[in-house]
Structure 1
Amino acid sequence: MSKYRNHLPQLDNDLFITDGGMETTLIFHEGWELRDFAAFDLLNHPAGRQSIQNYYRTYIDLAKTYAVGLILESATWRANSDWGTKLGYHRQALAEANRQAIALLQDLRQKQESPTTPLVISGCVGPRGDGYNAAYRMSEAGAERYHRPQIATFAETAADLVTAMTINYVEEAIGIVRAAQAYGMPVVISFTVETDGRLPSGQSLQTAIEQVDQATQQGPLYYMINCAHPSHFASSLTAGTFVKRIRGIRANASKKSHAELDEATVLDDGNPADLGSHYQTLRKQFPHVNVLGGCCGTDHRHIEAICQACLPLVWPYFTQRPLLSA
């Protein structure tokens, strides 16, 4: 059922974008009250489902405008068993929510994909606990058992890969990779870091990537960094083999720490052009990083600014134009 599972086009080094911060967009721009930050819960309601469809169409239109690929990340960051139980979903209902989230993306791909804009479907896996806090940790085996049901569901759908977002300690990452390997699913691990460039667990990004690779025989297709401002982690990206394993960035526009973001009552959406310039600097240093998107507080304005800043590095004759959303 998967179109790209055996060959994922972002591995060919063409530029791919992702969406921005789905949950913060739905809450602060669309006026939805998301229980426990769970976007998948909206799929139960026609108006909520339509809002999510419209959200994705915005990024599909943007990708078509700039003739780049797009990774469609499913609205399932919270759709695992602990969060699902808290929201009142039993096992079968939770599995169906994960299936419906992928089916929505499959329908969009069938209608919207073009030769210049390949659309890759990713089943999003979130952490069992708080993405900002690594106080509670599972063992590698415990993490594998915990994440298996969601990944098993994705393996039966049109999802091309799974992407684990906002992972903050290495044992959970290893468990997710092993669960994906058990079901033959390509997997990406996206770590989050604090303002010092280290995971919330205190481990450096380099040692975390090296430990996961060693424990899983380089199981992840590649790694990403998400939910941190580029100024938090840029200095951590030093020369070394581990940097070559990082292919994607989904940064925040806000420079606030995780603790500050947790306490914030208003959205800090930073400055799209400034964020774009940070991405341009990173692309100049690390041209192999070709999956570019946003996280908390970002929206289509930020992703367009990233396109404007980074496409001239890919296409030397790309002509700057005013932002469509300006």
Structure 2
Amino acid sequence: MSRQLPQLSQELFLTDSGLETDLIFNKGVDLPEFAAFPLLSDTKGRRALGDYYREHIAVAKNADAGFVLEAPTWRANPDWAARLGYDAASLAAANRDAVALMVELRDEADSGKPMVISGCVGPRGDGYQPDDVMTADDAAKYHQAQVDAFAEAEVDLVTALTMTTPAEALGVARAAKRAGLPSVVSFTLETDGNLPDGTTLADAIASVDADTPPAYYMVNCAHPSHFADRLIPGMQRLRGLRANASRRSHAELDEATELDDGDPVELADDYARLRAALPQLTILGGCCGTDVRHVAAIAGLST
């Protein structure tokens, strides 16, 4: 199992877009509890996941870029899985199976550029608000089972996406370290550029770095207009970006009944401006409302 992280170079790496919103709104796939991992349990669902990743891999190959295969396990933690009828054993099996699918896709792609497999850890509670506030110790204990399942599979790293508090992010970093895996922390930000609990991005990074530094940081599930002025030059630990297509707040998105997919070209321009200020932003993808069109535009390709 590889532990090298080629995305730490200055080469461009792409990743996928808004998996759940793309499947629900663009492809008509039902996702109870906004969870994609149950699709692994049947042939039709597995095919839908495979097709989704393949179209993004094709963009990366056309852009001559590396690719981060983020497993569809954002909701695959005990609280959310229990609502879907999973016990501890079946949940661990699902997490391992999600990684197995990523391995299949990597081997099938046979890309000339590096393809990295990441085990995705989502927040215990709602991704838009810190409704289950934990200490870092509690978060490490809570997320350890999922991280351990990844460690038993062929992952290169663990990525904590949509973290709403520094404490939970730190907990995932600690769990990954205990499992012998590199970690990445990605925070979500509100329209004021701060985490949902009010912590500034700079303070959140400093807080986690002071205890268990991950390999790098990302921002996801927020539009660039919400945080561009917070990404100060010199913030070298920030290397990845997965922005929302919509300029709406999290509260507005929670209430929305239709998809706001924004403008792929406009979003790509926002990315270009951010990368001009922070050239180390080389790991790029999308989040809610985005799809393969947005990733292609960000990579400088037309669809």
TM-score, with length taken from structure 2: 0.98
1:312 match: none
For 1:169-180, list aligned pairs within 5 A.
169-180=165-176
Deviations 1:138-196 (A, max 9, x none): 11110010000000010111110010000000110111111100011000000000000
Shift in Å, 1:306: 0.4
Q: Distance in 1 between matches of 2:96 and 2:80?
A: 17
1:265 match: 257
Shift in Å, 1:135: 3.2
1:316 match: none
Shift in Å, 1:261: 0.2
For 1:114-129, list aligned pairs within 5 A.
114-115=111-112, 117-129=113-125
For 1:1-326, list aligned pairs within 5 A.
2=1, 4-5=2-3, 7-115=4-112, 117-216=113-212, 219-240=213-234, 243-308=235-300, 323=302, 325=303
SS in structure 1 opposite 2:185?
A: strand
Aligned residues: 303
1:113/1:119 contact within 8 Å kept: no
Deviations 1:12-53 (A, max 9, x none): 110001100000011011101101000001111110100000
For 2:185, the aligned partner's letter is I
1:148/1:179 contact within 8 Å kept: yes
Shift in Å, 1:113: 2.7
SS in structure 2 opposite 1:184?
A: coil
Q: Distance in 1 between matches of 2:145 and 2:90?
A: 12
Shift in Å, 1:236: 0.5
TM-score, with length taken from structure 1: 0.92
Q: Which sections of structure 2, spanning at least 5 residues, go unmatched?
A: none
% same residue: 53
Shift in Å, 1:215: 1.9
1:123/1:159 contact within 8 Å kept: yes
SS in structure 1 opposite 2:299?
A: helix
Shift in Å, 1:136: 2.6
For 2:85, the aligned partner's letter is G
SS in structure 2 opposite 1:70?
A: strand
SS in structure 1 opposite 2:180?
A: coil
SS in structure 1 opposite 2:268?
A: helix
Shift in Å, 1:246: 0.3
Shift in Å, 1:114: 2.0
For 2:148, the aligned partner's letter is A
Q: Distance in 2 between matches of 1:67 and 1:296?
A: 25
Runs of 4+ in 1 over 3 A off after TM superposition: none
